[in-house]
């Protein structure tokens, strides 16, 4: 494939069922093995390999959606070649942005597997280049507010992602779900700059569907092109222990499923970040892989009025 000067390396195995070639694929999976700005426990660079390995645990048939992924044209273009050091971050971010724009230009849905959350800044920027003028939004599901102005002298650290995106694309374009950690200053700045976020406790109390409904009435989020970023630490550590900065009292795996079900129609790009297989190498990367598979299944679901929960 022509990847606009971005270097990719083939992987073996590829993500399960991604057996099509790029040109005929509707869905494109890519790994970004970068974790050099991680602040607590590192190892997210090894997540793409691990998510691919665990993706083979699952049936190709998604019984709740009546979709067989073996029939769906999808490909795994391998890993972005990165210099996994702080010096390598600038080029990594440029390459992620270029790749995101390229895959969207080719009318395919990209799935980026991190790596650390700083990748999301570039990935959303690539998405917004095309979709901001059409009302594009980024929904970021994360335990952390990631609203520092800079962290360890780096304004593009994983701890600054949401702030950079809000500054660039405006408070009407960024929505955060599951926040429960940040400095006092981050919360004050988020208030001042008008960040729209709900905490994990609000999700627990109000229900994620109610929150999406509220945002839909206020900001029409279900009608706008959407980039969905899942930082795996949004989940309670009991569902996703394999992450570098686990934070208690998170949302459940069913909450995340409902986010996918609530937003899949207009979601045009997605990422899963911060899986750290050195800490736990099966349940967490498995869940990450399943979320990618479920999103593809939802996009391919034929029935008009889904009743998946009842059906189960």
Q: Which residues bind Mn ion (CB under 5 A)?
A: 142-144, 231, 233
Q: State in angstroms the smallest separation of the CB of 17 from Mn ion.
A: 28
- The sign of the torsion formed by the CA atoms of 53, 44, 225, 208 equals positive
Of 54 and 231, the one with the shorter C-beta distance to Mn ion is 231
Q: Which is nearer to Mn ion, 142 or 261 (CB)?
A: 142
Tell me whether residue 79 or residue 142 sits nearer to Mn ion (CB atom): 142
- 270 in helix, strand or coil? strand
Which residue from 27, 31, 35 is spatially nearest to 49, judged by alpha carbons? 31
Question: How many Cα atoms occupy the beta-carbon half-sphere of 263 within 13 Å?
Answer: 34
The least distance separating Mn ion from the CB of residue 143, rounded to whole angstroms, comes to 5
Q: Residue 72, SS3?
A: coil
State which residue, 33 or 244, has the beta carbon closest to Mn ion. 244
In the complex, minimum distance from the CB of residue 184 to Mn ion, in angstroms, rounded to a whole number:
18
**Of 6 and 143, which CB lies nearer to Mn ion in the complex structure?**
143
Question: β-strands 109-114, 196-199: how paired?
Answer: unpaired
User: Strand pairing partners for 32?
Assistant: 114
Cross-strand bridge partners of residue 74: 27
3-state secondary structure of 265: helix
Q: Which residue lies nearer to Mn ion by CB, 136 or 250?
A: 250
Tell me which H or E stretch contains 230. strand 226-231
How many residues make up the chain in this entry? 312
Give me the least distance between CB of 137 and Mn ion, in Å please.
Answer: 19
Nearest Cα to Cα of residue 148 among 181, 124, 115 = 181
Q: How far is the CB of 44 from Mn ion (least distance, A)?
A: 11
Smallest separation, CB 178 to Mn ion (Å): 9
- Which spans in the chain are helix H? 47-55, 89-105, 118-131, 161-169, 184-193, 200-206, 208-219, 253-263, 283-300, 308-311
Nearest residue (CB) to Mn ion, 108 versus 144 = 144
Determine the Cα–Cα distance for residues 103 and 16; give it in Å rounded to an integer. Answer: 20
Nearest CA-CA partner of 47 in 36, 31, 58 = 31
Closest separation between CB of residue 187 and Mn ion, Å?
15
Asked if residues 195 and 146 have their Cβ atoms less than 8 Å apart, the reply is no
- Nearer residue to Mn ion within complex by CB, 140 or 295: 140
Q: Which residue is nearest to Mn ion (CB)?
A: 144
Work out how close the CB of 225 gets to Mn ion at its nearest, in angstroms, rounded to a whole number.
24
């Amino acid at each position: 494939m022509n990847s606009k000067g971005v270097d990719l390396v083939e992987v073996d195995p590829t993500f399960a069922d991604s057996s099509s070639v790029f040109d005929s694929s509707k869905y494109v999976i890519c790994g970004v093995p970068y974790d050099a700005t991680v602040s607590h426990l590192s190892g997210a660079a090894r997540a793409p390999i691990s998510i691919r390995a665990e993706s083979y645990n699952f049936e190709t048939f998604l019984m709740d959606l009546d979709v067989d992924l073996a029939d769906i044209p999808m490909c795994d273009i391998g890993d972005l070649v990165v210099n996994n050091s702080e010096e390598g971050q600038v080029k990594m971010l440029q390459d992620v942005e270029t790749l995101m724009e390229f895959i969207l230009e080719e009318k395919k849905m990209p799935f980026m597997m991190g790596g650390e959350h700083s990748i999301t800044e570039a990935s959303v920027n690539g998405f917004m280049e095309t979709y901001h003028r059409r009302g594009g939004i980024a929904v970021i599901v994360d335990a952390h507010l990631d609203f520092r102005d800079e962290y360890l002298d780096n304004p593009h650290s994983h701890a600054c992602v949401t702030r950079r995106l809000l500054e660039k694309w405006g408070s009407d374009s960024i929505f955060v779900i599951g926040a429960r950690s940040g400095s006092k200053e981050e919360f004050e700045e988020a208030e001042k700059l008008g960040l729209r976020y709900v905490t994990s406790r609000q999700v627990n109390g109000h229900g994620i569907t109610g929150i999406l409904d509220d945002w839909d009435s206020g900001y029409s989020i279900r009608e706008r092109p959407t980039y969905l970023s899942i930082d795996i630490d949004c989940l309670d550590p009991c569902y996703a222990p394999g992450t570098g900065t686990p934070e208690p009292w998170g949302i459940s795996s069913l909450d995340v499923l409902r986010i996918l079900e609530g937003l899949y129609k207009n979601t045009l790009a997605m990422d899963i970040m911060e899986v750290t297989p050195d800490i736990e190498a099966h349940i967490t990367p498995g869940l990450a892989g399943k979320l990618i598979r479920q999103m593809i299944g939802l996009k391919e679901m034929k029935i008009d009025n889904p009743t998946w929960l009842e059906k189960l």
